Structure 1
Amino acid sequence: MIIVKEILERIDYIDFVGNDQLKINYVLPILELNNAENAISWCADKNEDILKTIKTNSLIIVSQNNNQTQSLKNYLIVENPRRTFQEILSVFFTKSRKPTISHSAIIDKTSKIGKDVFIGNNVVIEENCIIGNNTTIQHNTTILRDTIIGNNVTIGCNNTIGGIGFGYEKNKNGDFELIPHIGNVVIKNNVDIGNNTCIDRAVLGSTILEDNVKVDNLVHIAHGVKVGRNSVVIANAMVAGSVNIGENSWIAPSSSILNKRDVGNNALVGMGAVVTKHVEDNTIVAGNPSKFIRHIND
């Protein structure tokens, strides 16, 4: 339980109307807010008509452009309701894991583990890995040799980081033989990786995820890929070998990027797109094969 006054002391806001001693016991979606008293939620401007139906004694976060607050008992006006809601969840409702290393984890003695790290059940960390401070590696994830992971990284369950990529060459008899992958994976600071995702080591050099990259569940990132700072790769996306993704770009669900293609800065690859050509900065592409839709700033 928290009191509205405690929220007001911790966040930036434009105005507050209501009872600052209201107790908050629940966090609910706006459509479920009438199911409980003393809850908190947020409302996007496009959904403002929903507020006409709200009868509960709860706190609702809205923007200064919202025109349907007349009937609300308690509301908080902020610049960006969703961002403020995220901040409140992080500060007041999220339980951080206690730093610990599970007894069932297998960590090679040549690997270096930072401070305040959580390593879950059945995690495997092979030789010569580096794990930074305040990093979380959840259950059943495997970190293969020579992987470097920065600070404040979160890696979910059942991932394989540093596996051998799918790179083959035919021998003189015409049979495929695996090309040795002697590179590694480098995951920099503040990266989040979901569950059941594979990130392969480079043939030479490194597969790199720059600071603040966010990777969803069931993503495949192949050997030698580079993902720029603050970019997002979402569920079921396939990023083939040696792709370069710029900064602040968005790779939508179930999209595929052909090997050795570049996706520029601030670009958006649409849902289910198949990228066969380079994607320029500040553009949206979609379709199979993907085609230019428009510039981001249009």
Structure 2
Amino acid sequence: MVSHPPPWTADELAQAAGAAVVGDPGRTFFDVAEPATAAPEHLTVLLDPRHRDAVAVTQAGVVVAAPGAEAVRPDATWVLHPDPVAVLWVLAEWLGLAPVRQGLHPTAQVDPAAEVHPTAWVGPFCYVGPGVRIHEGAQLMGHCVLYGDAEVGPESVLHAGVVVYPRVRVGRRVIVHAGAVLGGDGFRFIPHPERPVKVPQLGRVVIEDDVEIGANTCVDRAFLGETRIGAGTKIDNLVQVAHNVSIGRACLIAAQAGIAGSSRIGHRVWMGGQAGVPDHVTVGDDVRLAAQTGITGNVPPGKVMAGSPAVERALWLRIHAFLRELPRWLEKFRRWDRMWGE
């Protein structure tokens, strides 16, 4: 639901965000759009200086940017803020994308042994089990399930359909997107002639502050210790984090990446889409794994890896440059064979 319906004015947005207007303060806009597709009734944004050329020719009526960017197009109306993202958060609230509510929806079921702060919100058809603690300002959207003995920190948001198993702690300002599962059993079985024997997963999951977890991502509960996601780490959709994994601070992990059990990921590591980490390895701080990289062992800090099996990216580029030449060399060898072969 849109909390503040359009039209909006540049001045109204600037006042709400603590920004300044250069141009026509009364300039109205009704929606947002990319610079290339924006019309005069749209607002667009310049976050990356590399996109200045696109903004220079945009038809958008209002442009959000950092101070100094207005020289790109002096005839436009600019909303200037040292942190343009702060302006976008105001728009997100107006558009109903960052709702903040309080209380319990009539269809929510909250166990008497649970603790829900009065400023938190438990949405329609949610279930909050015994021993769960929901802190101030936390937001549980529709159909969330918290089994019991779990904690959701202040100002955290669990979107629709999130499932939180027991022995999970979610820190402050964490965002968990729809369909994610926190604390499911780790994949641990003992081989047996008749069938694999399941091993109980008795540990915990700890999600530190300011983490974001994408839709349908799974973070498994540890065997005995803990599975931990470090502060400020951002995880995309459809990522698998196995039992007893430790991920450091400020990491970026793209969609469909997988991290097998008991691996250690350092701080500020970037993993591209579908990158894979096997069990019981260590990936050092500041490592970069390109998309579809499959590492086979420990990776020292600072390395940039690519390929499967993974090698350093510079070598991987040379290998692929040579591979492109293989058909030409193969044809040469065939000609030589015809000329000199018996």
8 Å Cα contact 1:136/1:154 also seen in 2:
yes
Distance in structure 2 (CA, Å) of the matches to 1:67 and 1:36: 17
Task: Write 1 or 2 for the structure with the bigger share of helix.
Answer: 2
Q: 1:283 Cα deviation (Å)? A: 2.2
Matches within 5 A, 1:204-243: 204-243=224-263
**More strand per residue: 1 or 2?**
1
CA RMSD of aligned residues (A): 2.7
Shift of 1:281: 1.8
TM-score (norm 1): 0.84
User: In structure 2, what is the Cα distance between the partners aligned to 1:55 and 1:138?
Assistant: 35
Provide the secondary structure at the position in 2 that maps to 1:89. helix
Give the counterpart of 1:192 among 212, 216, 221.
Answer: 212
Whole-Å Cα distance in 2 between the matches of residues 164 and 77 of structure 1? 48
In structure 2, how many angstroms separate the alpha carbons of the residues matched to 1:9 and 1:110? 39
Tell me if the contact between 1:62 and 1:75 (Cα under 8 Å) persists in the aligned partners.
no
Equivalent in the alignment of 2:46: 42
1:32 deviation in Å? 1.3
Give TM-score scaled by structure 2 length. 0.74
- Say which of 97, 111, 116 aligns to 2:132: 111
Q: Is the 8 A contact 1:48 1:68 kept in 2?
A: no
Indicate the larger mover: 38-47 or 125-134.
Answer: 38-47
Asked whether the 8 Å contact 1:48–1:67 carries over to 2, the reply is: no
- The one-letter code of the counterpart of 1:201 is R
Structure 1 alignment gaps of length 5 or more: none
Task: Tell me the amino acid that sits aligned with residue 285 of structure 1.
Answer: M
Query: Residue in 2 aligned with 1:177?
Result: 197
In the alignment, does 2:306 pair up with 1:286? yes
Q: 1:62 to 1:85 in 2, by over 3 A?
A: closer
Give runs of aligned pairs for residues 9-24 of structure 1, distance below 5 A: 10=17, 17-24=22-29
2:182 paired with 1:161 = yes
Residue identity matched to 2:230:
E
Judged with a 3 Å threshold, the aligned counterparts in structure 2 of structure 1 residues 67 and 107 are, in CA distance, closer, same or farther, namely closer
Partner SS, residue 91 of structure 1: helix
Cα distance in structure 2, aligned partners of 1:130 and 1:57: 45
User: What are the within-5 Å matches in structure 2 for residues 254-265 of structure 1?
Assistant: 254-265=274-285
Return the alpha-carbon distance in structure 2 between the equivalents of residues 24 and 62 of structure 1: 19
Contact 2:162 2:181 in 1 (8 A): yes
Largest Rg, 1 or 2: 2
Match of 1:90 in 2: 89
Equivalence for 2:112: none
Q: Note closer, same or farther for the CA distance 1:260–1:67 as it changes in structure 2 (3 Å cut).
A: same
Query: In 1, are the aligned partners of 2:228 and 2:244 still within 8 Å (CA)?
Result: yes
How far, CA to CA, are the matches of 2:271 and 2:197 in structure 1?
Answer: 31
Give the distance between the partners of 1:120 and 1:291, measured in 2 at CA: 43
CA offset at residue 161 of structure 1? 0.9
**Partner of residue 73, structure 1:** 76
2:167 is aligned to 146
| One-letter amino acid matched to 2:141 | G
Contact kept, 8 Å, 2:35 with 2:60, in 1: the verdict is no
Distance, in Å, in 2 between the alignment partners of 1:76 and 1:67 is 9
Q: Which runs of 5+ in 2 are unaligned?
A: 1-7, 103-120, 315-342
Alignment partner, residue 58 of structure 1: 62
Which of the numbers 31, 35, 38 marks the counterpart of 2:36?
Answer: 31
Counterpart CA distance in 2 for 1:139 and 1:70 is 41
Mapped contact 1:49–1:68 kept (Cα < 8 A): no
Q: Deviations over 1:24-44 (max 9, x none)?
A: 4432211112x2335232264
SS across alignment from 1:207: strand
Report the Cα distance in structure 1 between the residues aligned to 2:231 and 2:53, rounded to whole angstroms: 39
